[in-house]
Structure 1
Amino acid sequence: MQPSLSFKRKRVRIAAATAAVAIGAGLYTAGAASADHATPRTDKEIPNLTKVEDKIKAYYGDTVDKAGQHYASPDSNYAKQLADIQKKAKAQIERAVKNTTGKKGAGAGAKKPAIVLDVDDTTLLTYNYELQQGFHFTPESQDAYLKSTDMGPVFGMPQLVNWAQSKGVTVFFVTGRDEHQRDWSVRNLKNAGYKPAADRAHFYLKNKKTPPAYLSCGASCTTVQFKSGTRKHIESQGYQIVANFGDQYSDLQGGYATHTYKLPNPMYYLP
């Protein structure tokens, strides 16, 4: 996930180091990779940044093209981990659809099944951008990249999302990207192979200038408040969010989804 400027994204390189070392210790999937802000007592408690970046590259199966651009490999451990998550999610979504459409009287006032997805590192892969910037995000570099370059899809996600739509599931995208990045984001989602329309009714971005009335926190929403408040708004329109996908725990917290799926991302941490 990549939030708007108001989220003051904490993408310092040491966050990447902390997350990557947690993966190496087998802690990531348990949720223990959330940033530890304790002050180190000695240098031995601090992971070596160069070695951590090498581990991140190895995990993503780093490949470099003739132009010197870095890309993740579909044969990487990252891609394999994604495939396991997606397999479980597909089975769960299929059961949810059957339960929704198979119940007697389901047509009378029944909730419509929906899924919600974050954008950065949930539907679109930021790996090439991150390597270009040395894992150092700036709003200016993000704008320049999104305006001129399409990010590739997160491996397997277009297939999962398009399949869900074919089963009658409504797809919503909810991202911390800023409203001024809407057109670039819509273009990228389409070019990356996502068939569901990323129109204004199904694509929610952070709008600091004119926040929607359904968010009581207005322009000062935290990530969790913005995401959960938007999911609440979606459900108020007659939907049941049967699956919520995100690469940060803040994408998933706050309720308003029957199931949540945490996608791997050792490159940065967002509270």
Structure 2
Amino acid sequence: MARFRRSVRTHALTAVATAVAATALYGVSTAGADGSVPRSDKEIPNLTNVVNEIKAYYGDTTDASGEHHASADSSYARQVAGIEAKAGAYLRQAVRHPRPGRKPAIVLDVDDTSLLTYNYELEVGFNYTPASNDAYIQNKNMDAVFGMPALVNWAADHGVTVFWITGRPETQRAASVRNLAAVGYRSPADTAHLYLNTKAPTSYLPCSAPTYTCTTTEYKSGTRKHIESLGYDITADFGDQYSDLNGGYAGRTFKLPNPMYYLP
């Protein structure tokens, strides 16, 4: 989907994400991520309940065409607003005290950091496939993550260069640019500022040649290192997965909430 995958994407309805959901939503000890096997059904959260909890968290609404949307007064929106308030305060300080000789920048993931995949996830029943995801991205616009266009545009207006690093493939570049602009991001998402995963040998990614073996963290942190080599100081890195944020080359990281899936 909008993210880099070396392996199969792990959804809320799979064993690993079920374990994560169980811990986050129900506080029970469950199995999956560590390879252990549940000894009883009581150790496994009910999938219907997990989906209903996710929908309640996002404040699920549907429009006249049946498209699902998160609500601006949902727990999700409030949690995102709290994170953005901290990020905004940090960026205000950063632009007042830039690193000498370096150009300030921020980096963002796309899916569930800049754009919200919620409607797609509901449409496919959390059953991601490359084909269904590509068809969605090519033909529909995802909603913006609440508040992110305003935060990003403020940074750009105050001299901060905006970069996106996403796992979306090159074939989704035009659709990604269209969607980001449609929901209010004013910074150029051109080839110099929007990095997509080509899974091809890249001079600044040692793990990409001779055979591409980059993990998500290696791809994203290596790309941030490359951006900094161009004279930028990445003051903040935003992502919904820890693999978006690990690996350094950012002054501070901001983790956006995403209970729908987990990407190592």
Q: Please give the TM-score of this superposition, normalised by the length of structure 1.
A: 0.90
The answer to whether the 8 Å contact 1:5/1:178 transfers is: no
C-alpha separation in 2, matches of 1:152 and 1:261: 20
Corresponding position: 1:18 with 2:19: yes
Task: Provide the aligned C-alpha RMSD in A.
Answer: 1.9
C-alpha separation in 2, matches of 1:36 and 1:192: 39
Partner of 1:232: 225
Partner of 1:74: 72
The answer to whether the 8 Å contact 2:26/2:45 transfers is: no
The answer to whether the 8 Å contact 2:68/2:119 transfers is: yes
Partner of 1:38: 36
Corresponding position: 1:8 with 2:8: yes
Could you report, residue by residue, the CA deviation over 1:158-208 in whole angstroms, capped at 9, with x for unpaired residues? 000000101111100000111111111111111111000000110001002
Amino acid at match of 1:198: A
Corresponding position: 1:61 with 2:62: no
Corresponding position: 1:217 with 2:218: no
The answer to whether the 8 Å contact 1:7/1:223 transfers is: no
Could you report, residue by residue, the CA deviation over 1:117-152 in whole angstroms, capped at 9, with x for unpaired residues? 000000000000000000010000011001100001
C-alpha separation in 2, matches of 1:52 and 1:18: 11
Q: How does 1:94-105 map to 2 (within 5 A)?
A: 94-100=92-98
Deviation at 1:64? Answer: 1.3
User: Taking structure 1 as reference, are residues 35 and 95 closer, same or farther at Cα in structure 2, changes over 3 Å only?
Assistant: farther
The answer to whether the 8 Å contact 2:22/2:44 transfers is: no
C-alpha separation in 1, matches of 2:218 and 2:24: 27
Deviation at 1:20? Answer: 3.2
Q: How does 1:21-170 map to 2 (within 5 A)?
A: 21-25=22-26, 35-100=33-98, 106=100, 110-170=101-161
Corresponding position: 1:181 with 2:172: yes
Q: What SS does structure 1 have at the residue aligned with 2:238?
A: strand
Query: Please, which runs of 5 or more residues in structure 1 have no aligned partner?
Result: 28-33
C-alpha separation in 1, matches of 2:147 and 2:201: 33
C-alpha separation in 2, matches of 1:85 and 1:19: 21
The answer to whether the 8 Å contact 1:150/1:188 transfers is: yes
C-alpha separation in 2, matches of 1:24 and 1:251: 23
Query: Please, which runs of 5 or more residues in structure 2 have no aligned partner?
Result: none
Amino acid at match of 2:11: R
User: Taking structure 1 as reference, are residues 3 and 118 closer, same or farther at Cα in structure 2, changes over 3 Å only?
Assistant: same
Among 215, 236, 239, the alignment partner of 1:243 is: 236
Partner of 2:196: 205
C-alpha separation in 2, matches of 1:124 and 1:206: 17
Deviation at 1:11? Answer: 2.6
Q: What SS does structure 2 have at the residue aligned with 1:195?
A: coil
C-alpha separation in 2, matches of 1:160 and 1:119: 14
Q: Please give the TM-score of this superposition, normalised by the length of structure 2.
A: 0.92
Q: What SS does structure 1 have at the residue aligned with 2:235?
A: strand
The answer to whether the 8 Å contact 1:121/1:154 transfers is: yes
C-alpha separation in 1, matches of 2:260 and 2:53: 11
The answer to whether the 8 Å contact 1:20/1:56 transfers is: no
The answer to whether the 8 Å contact 2:12/2:21 transfers is: no
Sequence identity, in percent?
58
Count of equivalent residues? 257
Partner of 1:31: none
